[in-house]
Structure 1
Amino acid sequence: HGSMSGAIKNVLDSLHVQHGQPDAYFQGRPVALASYGGPTAISAVNALQTVVRVMQGVIVPTVVTVSRDALDPSTGAITDEKTLRRADRMLGEVARMVAMQQAFDAGTGA
């Protein structure tokens, strides 16, 4: 209770089915974690960190939690500059990790 929703658990459970192999999961791919709900949402992120590691994912260092105050109430868009900068940094980390993995795979033929 309180760690993550049943919907998230169902998505995670279905990952191996999509790849057709019970051990496929994230296969060393970078994973970014973000949540909505401000400080209380960090418990879901903490739970997901453990799950992603077990599922062979590599978590990028920056985590983004979005509070209600960070959103435009009429559009739902993130308007808080600090949150936008963190999200940009997190996405940059994902892009750099993907580029490093591609360069490694190209150099080793993996």
Structure 2
Amino acid sequence: MRITLVAGSNRQNATSTILLKHIESILLEKHISVSFIDLAETPLPLFTPDNWEFHENALHLIKSIQNADGLIFSTPEYHGSVSGALKNALDYVSIDKVAGKAVLSVSSAGGPLGISSLTHLQTIVRNLHGINCPEWISIGYGTNTFNEDGTPTDEGTRVRVQTVLNSFIELTKNLSHKPVVSS
């Protein structure tokens, strides 16, 4: 199984990215192959449909998404929506790269929770024909602190992450092993 994680903040040490790195460590412990794209370290030019000669970072993103069995997108919540960096990245991705794949949405907010960003992200995923995981992860103030190793300090957050990841992994397995129907 291959999972591509996209950290959708262009801010260094963003809590949404730290949370995604924690998720990556859990996946690696489960011996799941991971591709991690951090948009703060791999910036993308502003997408325009007038230019289809994509920057090498955009080509890397597209290939990583195409080769994945499942996808995890994280975003900070900015003004009730996803980050511009993540939206721009997803604008590079065509439906055929996401269709039928399990997608987990993860957010971090300066307020209680990033619910608006998650619903917007799930709408984007639906429009790319991805299969939204019925669970999601959102952290807000009080739960967005981490130990030196990147583990959330809040026990409830650690349990929630593990529970949601288990659900996502099961969904990804089920979707990536669909039997081929011949006519």
Residue 77 of structure 1 aligns with which residue? 151
TM-score (norm 2): 0.49
Residue 107 of structure 2 aligns with which residue? 35
Helix, strand or coil: the match of 1:69? coil
Selected match of 1:63 from 136, 139, 143: 136
CA RMSD of superposed structures (Å): 2.3
**Taking every aligned residue pair, what percent have the same amino acid on both sides?**
30
Structure 1 stretches of 5 or more lacking a match? 17-22
Helix, strand or coil: the match of 1:15? coil
Pairwise CA distance, 1:35: 0.5
Helix, strand or coil: the match of 1:108? coil
Question: Aligned in 2, Cα 1:66/1:6: closer, same or farther, shift over 3 Å?
Answer: same
Question: Aligned in 2, Cα 1:73/1:94: closer, same or farther, shift over 3 Å?
Answer: closer
The structure with more helix, counted as a fraction of residues: 1
Q: For the Cα contact (< 8 Å) 2:101–2:172, is it kept in 1?
A: yes
Over residues 69-96 of structure 1, what are the superposed CA-to-partner deviations in whole Å (9 max), with x where a residue is unaligned? 2213766531211111111122111211
Selected match of 1:49 from 122, 125, 137: 122
Residue 163 of structure 2 aligns with which residue? 89
Structure 2 stretches of 5 or more lacking a match? 1-78
Q: Please give the alpha-carbon distance, in whole angstroms, between the structure 2 residues aligned to 1:69 and 1:54.
A: 33
Q: Please give the alpha-carbon distance, in whole angstroms, between the structure 2 residues aligned to 1:77 and 1:10.
A: 29
Residue 25 of structure 1 aligns with which residue? 97
Q: For the Cα contact (< 8 Å) 2:100–2:129, is it kept in 1?
A: yes
